[in-house]
Amino acid sequence: MPLNDRKIVTIILEQCDGIEERCDGYKEEIIEVVSDILEFERGHRVSATNIQKKINEKCNAAARFLATRRSQSTGTEEMNS
Amino acid sequence: MKLLRAEFQNFRMLRDLQLEFSIDPNTNLTVIRAANESGKTTILHGLQWALYGDAALPDKGEGFRLHPIDWDEREGNRVPIIATVEFELTTYRRTSGEVRETRRRYRLVRSAFEEVDGGTRRFDSTVKLFALNETGASPIDAPEALINDELPPELREVFFTDGDRALSFIEADVALSTKRERVQRAIRSLLGLGVVDGAIKHVRKSAAEVNKKAKQVGGSDQLNSIATRLEAMENNREKLETDLEDAKQQFSAFDEKVDEVDREIAAALQKGDKVKLRKDLENARAEISQLDSQLAAANKEHSALFRGRSIATGLLTPVLVGAFNTLEELHNQGKIPNTTIPVLYDRLEAKVCICGETLVPGNPDGDNRRAHIQKLIDDNQRADEIQEIITDLYYSTKSLQGGRGAETSAWQEEFKKVVERRDGIQTLRDEAGRKLRALEMQLDSLPDTDIQGLRETRRRYKDLRDRYLSKQSSIGTQLTGLSREREVLEVERDRLLREQKRGARILAELEVTQDVMKILKSAYQRITNEELRKVSELMNSVFLEMIGADPEQGSMIQRAEISHEFDIIVYGPNDRTLNPDRDLNGASRRALTLAFILALTKVSEVEAPNVIDTPLGMTSGFVKHSILRTAVRESTQLILFLTHDEIAGCEEIIDESAGLVFTLTNPVHYPKMLVNDPGVSERRVVRCECDHRSDCQLCLRYEDVQFEL
Amino acid sequence: MADRYFNPFQAIDINVPVEFHEAFTRYCQRSADAVIDQSPFPRMVDLWFLSVCIASRLGLEPADITDYDTRKIIDGSIFGSDPWRVHTLMLIAIAKSGDVQVVSEPRQMMTLANGLAVAGLPKVIEMLKEGDAEPIWNLSDAVDSLLRKGVVA
């Protein structure tokens, strides 16, 4: 429940256009990560949560997605998360 | 957030009062008509107390009584005070690529007890929040967190504004850094920068965690070394950031102190500089002492008039005529012997010898001859005693005869001079005395302010402030250097990771955190740059529209803006900056503050109420209309407390825009201001449904009657 | 030159009736910090001498000093410092007696002077007192107006 949720979401979405599409669906994945992080932040402001852990995991998941996609395209991904 | 209704019990003069607010987007205005002393400010305090507790009360509630002042102890000496606020929140959430809007209603209840046993003792208030739904109300934990998130306490002044005092963003009696901080805080909070800032910090930590993993990959000493260095740099950066924040806060604190001392000095100087006064006093005393000795000398001269020869000459010359004649006769008869001597005396007096040679003293020839003649005189003194005395008398008193026939005596001339001198000095002395007395009085009336000491304090604060400013720059430079160095190392680390077997996954994690950071940072930048500019532009247009009809100010004020440093600046002709406090009239200052508040709320797209007490005071005519129209247009929900005077002339705007209008009356105004007896003996605010155009038995006031007549 | 300005009154005292002593104390400066406006005369001889002059000017008859209980207030040696006073007293004596021989009679001259002083003193005291200002101003104004008036024939 942020003060101006809609506004920030709109601006963030626009900024996502500027990032590199590192693999197929990467941008979409990152948008999801950023939206979730903001959601975590909002929740964290209302009642303290282990936000660092949540964000680490979120980034980790996106990285796994990226690494997997890359390995699929090159066949060298090492599945050792 | 939109306010739906509020309810107060025993909150000062609000013994039992319910208020509703319009949430219709087409008629977003609620007008609460109330004369002075009819609870307007109390409601403003009540709403804020409900939302924020004691911290929102004047002096943070210290010594601020909440229960009705005329509370009857027979009703018990433990007074329950309750404030209830119901509001609606709209949330937006992005799900499956769409933004979904949700509206929820809440009820916030704050209650406290005050014991009125002789003094007043208040116990900490309790606050409860309930989510309202069709079936009832479910309690919500941590209500403060929700309120703080929706209506941050630092934005209280944005949402709850006292028209007379809402100048905290532009007022002159606080330091520039304080105003700047208020504006910055309001903008950051309303534009949601806090959330983005928090996200950036957390993602940065995630990136640091990933960097640690890079250290553990193994296989490359160089990678290990770079990752270790990056880790150290990250720690360094965190410390620098903390130091920078600290330096900024210290700078602001000392800047505020410098300003405070400046105000103290200015106030003391307005009454007079004690040190300077003492110096002036010393000078005045020295001047007086000098004049006193001059006066004493003049008095002596005056006194000397009564011991000198001139008074005797003046008085006696006419009465001694007989004596002179006798002497003259003797002289003429040759009976005054030693004729040679008188002849020689005559010659010495005439300064010319019988032979025609000079006897002028100072001339070498003259002096020689004079010495010779003097010798002849001495040699020829052979007369008897009487002859000698008479001869002596005759020649010595010749000057006494000289005064004969003169219109004024020498004494009168001397007296005239003495009078002039004495009067002249006395005038100066009187003046100096008056000056001294004035200075002494001024010194006595001075508060015991040590201006010199204050200046010294100011200098110390300024030194400290400047030290923190220079610390800020030095940390800023270190951070820039650190960030450049880091970028180079990161590229190298990523290259090395690519070479490692297990590196691809870590590299992906790093890329993700970097991309997320990039998005967050550019969003942050955009918000601060573009959105700030939007707030600035909108504030300017709203402000100019509000004051456009004021010919006096309209010609002087060209535009207003919020600078990158978060200063609200008003420009006059030729881009000359105007001091809002000094150069703007009351209506314009009010308009500027309202314009800033409305622009900020509008640009942030925050749905929040603007509750304003007496917004139209000090305004009239077209400016008044224009402020009201603009405020209605720019606000999501506008709740105005208006006096009858403020409403006068704005009825049509209220007809168009108000979804709700009602009237509050203070029964104690009967019989002086109220026409009819409300039949209520205690001090309490009573509500009726009369709008801005109607009156009833309860609210009819004398001014209305007169107006209708 | 000193021998030319001999002081015939060297050995003669100036005596003033006791009733005027208070006036001498009041109107003559007896210390360095005397209030000049209240005590205009630097020395007692100045008050005495002015009284002589005023009496002469106003044509007052000299009082018979033997009628009074007098006390010496000043030593005659005081005239040594102001020889013009000696000359003035002689002129007054000549004017009064019409005889220049009087100059050889210092005691006679002093009797005349003392008599004139006693006659003039009440007038001077009146001049000091009469007026709204301090004695020095009252006296100054009175002398000024006296000088303006000219001499009563």
CB-CB under 8 Å, A66 with B508: yes
> Do the beta carbons of residue B381 and residue B388 sit within 8 Å?
yes
**Which chain A positions have a beta carbon within 8 Å of B202's beta carbon?**
37, 40-41, 51-52, 55
> Do the beta carbons of residue B209 and residue B491 sit within 8 Å?
no
What is d(CA C25, CA C39) in angstroms, rounded to the nearest whole number? 9
pLDDT single digits (tens) B176-217? 777 777 787 778 777 778 888 889 999 999 999 888 888 887
Residue B253 counted as domain residue: yes
pLDDT single digits (tens) A12-69? 888 888 888 889 889 989 988 998 898 888 777 766 678 899 999 999 999 999 988 8
Residue B171 counted as domain residue: no
Distance of alpha carbon B243 from the chain centroid: 31
Residue B288 pLDDT grade (very low, low, confident, very high; cuts 50, 70, 90): very high
Residue C60 counted as domain residue: yes
> Do the beta carbons of residue B609 and residue B637 sit within 8 Å?
yes
B559-562, strands of its sheet edge to edge: B559-562, B568-571, B577-578
Do B264 and B279 sit in the same domain of this protein? no
pLDDT single digits (tens) B210-239? 888 888 877 778 888 898 999 999 999 989
Using alpha carbons only, give the angle C92, C97, C100 rounded to the nearest 5 degrees.
Answer: 80
Do B204 and B244 sit in the same domain of this protein? yes
> Do the beta carbons of residue B603 and residue B188 sit within 8 Å?
no
Residue C73 counted as domain residue: yes
ipTM over 0.95: no
Residue C76: CB atoms within 10 A of its CB come to 19
Q: Would you state the pLDDT for residue B168?
A: 63
> Do the beta carbons of residue B32 and residue B639 sit within 8 Å?
yes
**Which chain B positions have a beta carbon within 8 Å of C105's beta carbon?**
none
pLDDT single digits (tens) B94-112? 556 666 677 889 999 999 9
Residue C39 counted as domain residue: yes
CB-CB under 8 Å, B190 with A47: no
Amino acid, single-letter form, for residue C2:
A
Closest CA to B604 of B633, B634, B567, B630: B634
Residue B111, beta-bridge partner list: B82, B126
Q: Would you state the pLDDT for residue A79?
A: 44
Closest CA to B202 of B580, B525, B520, B454: B520
**How many domains is chain B built from?**
2
Boundaries of domain holding B204: 194-271+450-527
Among B527, B558, B578, identify where a domain stops: B527
| Distance from the first to the final alpha carbon of chain B | 44
Residue of A nearest to B193 (CA): A8
CB-CB under 8 Å, B323 with C95: yes
Distance of alpha carbon B633 from the chain centroid: 33
Is some CB atom of chain B closer than 8 A to the CB atom of A18?
yes
Do B306 and B408 sit in the same domain of this protein? yes
Distance of alpha carbon C92 from the chain centroid: 12
Omega before residue B364 within 30° of 0, cis:
no
What is d(CA B105, CA B246) in angstroms, rounded to the nearest whole number? 40
**Is the model's pLDDT at C152 over the cut of 70?**
no
Boundaries of domain holding C50: 13-149
Whole-number Cα distances in Å, B436 to B274, B423, B429? 14, 20, 10
Residue of B198, B505, B606 with shortest CB distance to A4: B606
pLDDT single digits (tens) B397-422? 776 665 555 656 889 999 999 999 99
Using alpha carbons only, give the angle B451, B454, B457 rounded to the nearest 5 degrees.
Answer: 155
Closest CA to B556 of B593, B582, B534, B595: B582
Residue C133 counted as domain residue: yes
Residue C1 counted as domain residue: no
What does chain B come to in residues?
Answer: 709
Whole-number Cα distances in Å, B33 to B422, B528, B707? 75, 39, 17
Among B510, B527, B544, identify where a domain stops: B527
Do B423 and B312 sit in the same domain of this protein? yes
What is the average pLDDT value for chain C, to the nearest integer? 86
What is d(CA B516, CA A15) in angstroms, rounded to the nearest whole number? 10
Percentage with pLDDT > 90 across chain C: 41
Calculate how close chain A gets to B448, using CA atoms only, in Å: 50
Residue B368 pLDDT grade (very low, low, confident, very high; cuts 50, 70, 90): confident
Residue C6 counted as domain residue: no
Interface list for B 97-116 with A (CB within 8 A): 99
Q: What is the mean pLDDT of residues B324-352?
A: 74
Q: Do B and A count as touching (3 or more CB pairs closer than 8 A)?
A: yes
Residue B226 counted as domain residue: yes
Residues contacting B7, CB < 8 A, separation 6+ = B17, B18, B19, B82, B83, B84
DSSP annotation of C28 reads: B
Calculate how close chain B gets to A46, using CA atoms only, in Å: 5
Q: Would you state the pLDDT for residue B394?
A: 82
**Is the model's pLDDT at B706 over the cut of 70?**
no
Residue C54 pLDDT grade (very low, low, confident, very high; cuts 50, 70, 90): very high
Comparing B248-257, B423-432, B691-700, C116-125, the range with the smallest average pLDDT is B248-257
Please give the residue that has the higher pLDDT: either B302 or B572. Answer: B302
Do B200 and B254 sit in the same domain of this protein? yes
**How many domains is chain C built from?**
1
Residue B447 pLDDT grade (very low, low, confident, very high; cuts 50, 70, 90): low
Half-sphere exposure of B124 (CA within 13 A, CB side): 2
Residue with the two structure tokens 């404030």 = B83
**Is the model's pLDDT at C124 over the cut of 90?**
yes
**Is the model's pLDDT at B21 over the cut of 60?**
yes
Q: How many helices (H) and strands (E) does chain C have?
A: 5, 2
State both tokens at B121.
């003792």
Residue B707 pLDDT grade (very low, low, confident, very high; cuts 50, 70, 90): very low
Among B486, B506, B527, identify where a domain stops: B527
Do B310 and B408 sit in the same domain of this protein? yes
What is d(CA B457, CA C82) in angstroms, rounded to the nearest whole number? 70
Do B423 and B486 sit in the same domain of this protein? no
* Main-chain phi, psi angles of B666, to 5 degrees: -105, 110
pLDDT single digits (tens) B65-97? 899 888 888 888 889 999 999 999 877 665 566
Residues contacting B382, CB < 8 A, separation 6+ = B338
